[in-house]
Amino acid sequence: MKFESTFLLHIQTAARLVGSIRWLAALSFVHSSIVPSEGTPIGVDVIETLLEDWGIRGARFETHLATARADITNVEANAFQRGLAALGRMLGFRTKQHKGTGAPDGVWWTEDCHFYDFEAKSDGKPDGPVSYSMVRQALLHPEWLATNDKELPPPRLTTVVIVSPRTTVQDKAAAVAGDTRYLTSLEVQKLFDDAATALNAVRARAVGLDEEALREQILETYYQKGLTGQQLRARIDGTLLRALPQVATP
């Protein structure tokens, strides 16, 4: 175990410096459960690019952040989906939005091809359970992506996440949900707030840093904010949908 810990330390250090190399990132992900206190952001390069796009200097950053915040707190479906995509990038995920019947409402994926397929029901009323039809639709997202988007890399692992203000589930839906995860709209908004805090903290220290120093700053800040490794994945995974209180199907 001592040699394993030393090995992991070297891999994690290397991944911090060259996080865009797929096999290093994959090693970090495969072994992160062994050392739960460790972990690197899922995509330092994604966060770095987002800062460049939104602007390290000037008011453009605040405008982009305010727009993303308005979207993630909006119950209208298209706005929420835009906010969800922005949140994914803020957390270091690669993201993509799709249109069409059966398409997921948002897709995030990691450097080692762990996919998160979202079914977002932000415009749903909080009363009433998560329905059977909603779960069936969500479970078809991985197949839809495999059939309709040949540009995405093949998933190593796929996690299906339903986002909804509802807090119960139909018993019939729970029976077919499998490992489908569940997040409340408020949990997503809280994750956005924490990501915005981390991103603001990085930006405040980013002026004058070279690329390597900026990457280190991103790593350190996101780690301190609990937005790396298992801590981040636990927040995105939320809870098992089938663990919600169940309501008998009429």
pLDDT in tens, 159-177: 999 999 999 999 999 999 9
pLDDT in tens, 50-83: 999 999 888 899 999 999 999 999 999 999 999 9
Please list the residue range(s) of the chain that carry CATH number 3.40.91: 41-247
Q: Read off the tokens for 148.
A: 């309709």
Quick one: fold of 41-247? Answer: Restriction Endonuclease (3.40.91)
SS (H, E, C) 101-164: CCCCCEEEECCCCEEEEEEECCCCCCCCCECHHHHHHHHCHHHHHHHHCCCCCCCCEEEEEEEC
State percent of the chain over pLDDT 90. Answer: 65
pTM: 0.84
